[in-house]
Amino acid sequence: MDKWIGLAVAGVLGTLARYGLSGLVQRIAGAGFPWGTAVVNLTGCFLFGLLWTLLDGRIQVRPEIRTTVFIGFFGAFTTFSSFVAETASLMRDSQWLYAGANIIGQNVLGIVVLLAGMALGRMV
């Protein structure tokens, strides 16, 4: 039961973090391109890579804590479903340049920042 409570609490925190960061970035950036989702996804990829590396040998934590962090928090924080829906909306509106930039940018940059997070994790 403790695992379920931990996942639920981490999920709530991830959701609130996603909502706050995405909304803030989108208000600053304005409409047109889904910058809020892009920033959340890229931040999530980077932090996932950083923590994965740190918790994979450098910092010993119980397996249920890893589960809570990666499934609970990051499962709620990252926004892949929003990414897909927003890309489909851009395509539906024939905004092909934005749709292509969204697909390529978030996927390629996601991998790059994940690797950057892992590299930083190895240096810490």
Number of domains observed in the structure of the chain: 1
What is the 8-class DSSP label of residue 84?
H
pLDDT for residue 1 = 81
* Domain encompassing residue 76: 2-123
The percent helix, strand, coil of the chain (3-state, each to 5) is 85, 0, 15
64-116 residue pLDDT tens:
999 999 999 999 999 888 899 999 999 999 999 999 999 999 999 999 999 99
Residues constituting the chain: 124
